[in-house]
Structure 1
Amino acid sequence: MPAAVVFENLADAASVRASSSILLAQPTLVQQVHVERRWRALNNVAWLVLDLGAETPIDTVAAMGLTATAARVRVSVADPSGAAGELFDSGQLTVDQAYLALVVLSEAPVSGRYVRIDLSNEGAPYVEAGRVCIGLRSTFAYNFDYGWSYGYVDPSTRSKTRGGQTQVTPRRPYRTIDVTFPRVTAADRYSFVETIERENALQRDVLFTTDPESDNLARDTIWGLMSETTAIVQPFIEDFTKQYRIEERR
């Protein structure tokens, strides 16, 4: 299946509540842009509920910057607690500790209002979440081409002492991805590609999934900002090409 992208984050306009939180780490922190600024619960089993305000089509839920070992996502239209999960229930999922993120995709959109995220953290005193994305994904008609790149940038700084030793001030590396879609249909261009260029540009995050059928969506999804804007090019009569360079958000 070709790559997909969520460019409108419905979670940012939702009302958020949690089972508990510490004073300086309230649940609304999942709506601010910096992933490392996290909501923290008072114990190691906790939940978040995001109320979208009305029935809204969604098919993607992601949570980044997690301190958790397991998670569950449920979507309800009538139960304000979200516990009913009558529209969607992911079941218990393992949080990959290499990526500290949860990405859940439903096969088809559901019109829900309440999105509940349950987190647990075995062997630790609390759970955390840094950012939540809820939305409707757009899937490209044709996938990106070979030659794409994926890697890590290490922002750590190094300096030499007078004695010649190298001192390192460590920073957490972040991921980058560079993909080119050699065939973008006119339908894709006018339905979402131009919208991303106009509305997100270099300012608003996107959730980019390289393989929606992956068995490890946290690994194959990046939440971040485009590092530069690139033109939509028309090399053929009916189709276009588009390049995306995305840096993971911290």
Structure 2
Amino acid sequence: MSSTNTGTLLSCKNVEAGYGASQVLFGVGLEIREGEVVTLLGRNGMGKSTTIKTIIGALKPKGGEIHFAGEKLNGLKADSIARRGIAIVPEGRMCFPNLTVEEHLIAFADNRSGQQDRWTLDRIYSIFPRLKERYRNLGSQLSGGEQQLLAIGRALSTNPKLLILDEATEGLAPLVREEIWRCLDMLREAGQTILVVDKYVQRLIRLADRHVILEKGHVAWEGSSAELDSDRSLWKTYLGV
């Protein structure tokens, strides 16, 4: 499907990228349609984070093309790409220790998607009641799980067209992980387009529409949740599950 086709939000074609003389991505292709939840899977070191960095402009592609909402992103700086409606929940959360929960959400508030049913402060609190309880707490006073919820809420406050989550459940207790999965289910039902990098395949199958598996910087497989669920050889070969 071409990036010019109706419904395609993100289109990556033959993307090559790396660090210095070390090439990491070799002709990666990835497409996400509006309202879809897509995962990027693979063992550590296979190119998932590099793909995300290239999409958001933190790393300049060495080849290929990236289109978002019909516009070519190659050559644009990260802040310019973000203003076009891509928000990332980064690995490591990156909350500001001296800002309160509410200050985080207000400081980043925008409507980059131009939608009428936007993510207001009250709407974010409605799906993250724990943030409402902690609205006066500083970032440094939150638990790891609460910081992750805040990082998601902060990204939503920009009202992105595409929300990217990079290892959003990494290192969290099972109960907190389940709270994040529940919130992602709600975002999917609300029509939010999402790209997820995570290792909990069984839970991702329940959440996502499609999956893309990377192996040594190449797309090794892509398909639906039903296809991934039914072929456990893929799990063993590419995911180490």
Is TM more than 0.5 here?
no
The TM-score normalised by the length of structure 1 is 0.25
Judging by fraction of residues, say which structure has more helix: 2
Judging by fraction of residues, say which structure has more strand: 1
Which structure exhibits the higher relative contact order, with contacts defined as CA atoms closer than 8 Å and separated by 6 or more residues?
2
Decide which structure has the larger Cα Rg and report it: 1
